[in-house]
């Protein structure tokens, strides 16, 4: 217990020290106005059945070999030279026509590969998700898809199997960030109510695995600094994960 508390305090201190300057730039959505993605009244969309390849001529930088990928990475000169967060988000905002044609699995891929994704900059997952929905169409479209929780659960289970084999610190951090988003979607009111007993038990095991991975990571003083405790101790999930 003491070790866990120490880890949480340490991570909080590191995030506060390293992220304060960037928080003001990234947090474009005020906490008190952050909308929850768990609303039971949300009208969800069905998955489209179009072919993404038909948009290739219109968006050659985005679509190659039948796949949608960002034309820039965080190391790209274009992003480095952008003068503001606003400019950077515009460079990597997926064209609306593409997002509306993407499968839900493709949207989840775009979310997790988003070059500017960094959950440690935000106080809660609600704030993080709402901010990213405001600056990237892939995020907004994904959270409107009816089968979003199903795709998130599939990805969460697959990432949980592969997590221990990841050696690259950057890939490890990005994978854990992705798992946090997946867990957030799975545990939303829309997602959790559809889980059977076996799937719910599996989610609990994955949460434990994520906790252990982060504690080991902090103990080893890795470059990865992530705190998922704010998500998994959220009052909305306490009953389900206890």
Residues in a beta bridge with 67: 64
Residues ≥6 apart with Cβ < 8 Å to 200: 192, 240
Mind listing the pLDDT tens digit for each residue in 6-65? 344 344 433 443 344 444 445 444 343 344 444 445 677 887 876 788 899 999 999 998
pLDDT of residue 1: 45
DSSP 77-137: HHHHH-SSHHHHHHHTPPPHHHHTTS-HHHHHHHHHT-TT--GGG-SSHHHHHHHHHHH-H
Percent of the chain whose predicted confidence (pLDDT) is above 70 = 68
- CA 226, CA 212: separation in Å to the nearest integer? 12
List the Cα angle 186/130/51 in 5-degree steps: 70
- CA 74, CA 153: separation in Å to the nearest integer? 27
Mind listing the pLDDT tens digit for each residue in 110-152? 999 999 998 878 877 888 899 999 999 999 999 999 899 889 9
Name which of 179, 180, 211, 197 is nearest 240 in CA terms: 197
Q: Are 68 and 50 in contact (CB under 8 A)?
A: no
Burial class (CB in 10 A: 0-12, 13-18, 19+), 33: exposed
Q: If you ran DSSP here, which 8-state letter would residue 187 be given?
A: T
Residues in a beta bridge with 227: none
Asked if residue 101 has pLDDT above 70, the reply is yes
pLDDT of residue 24: 46
This prediction has a pTM of 0.73
Structure tokens at 64: 């190659």
**What is the SS3 assignment for 4?**
helix
pLDDT of residue 39: 45
Q: Are 105 and 142 in contact (CB under 8 A)?
A: no
């Amino acid at each position: 217990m003491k070790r866990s508390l120490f880890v949480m305090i340490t991570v909080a201190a590191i995030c506060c020290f390293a992220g304060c300057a960037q928080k003001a730039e990234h947090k474009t959505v005020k906490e008190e106005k952050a909308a929850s993605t768990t609303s039971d009244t949300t009208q969800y969309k069905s998955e489209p059945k179009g072919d993404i390849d038909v948009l290739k001529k219109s968006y050659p930088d985005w679509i190659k070999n039948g796949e949608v990928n960002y034309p820039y990475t965080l190391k790209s000169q274009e992003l480095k030279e952008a003068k503001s967060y606003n400019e950077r988000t515009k460079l990597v905002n997926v064209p609306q026509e593409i997002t509306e044609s993407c499968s839900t699995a493709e949207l989840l891929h775009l979310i997790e590969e988003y070059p500017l994704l960094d959950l440690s900059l935000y106080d809660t997952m609600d704030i993080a998700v709402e901010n990213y929905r405001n600056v990237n169409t892939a995020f907004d479209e994904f959270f409107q898809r009816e089968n979003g929780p199903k795709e998130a659960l599939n990805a969460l289970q697959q990432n949980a199997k592969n997590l221990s084999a990841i050696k690259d610190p950057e890939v490890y951090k990005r994978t854990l960030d992705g798992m946090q988003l997946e867990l957030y979607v799975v545990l939303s009111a829309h997602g959790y109510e559809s889980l059977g007993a076996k799937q719910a038990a599996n989610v609990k095991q994955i949460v434990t695995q994520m906790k252990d991975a982060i504690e080991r990571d902090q103990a080893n003083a890795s470059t990865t600094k992530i705190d998922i405790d704010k998500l998994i101790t959220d009052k909305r999930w306490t009953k389900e994960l206890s």
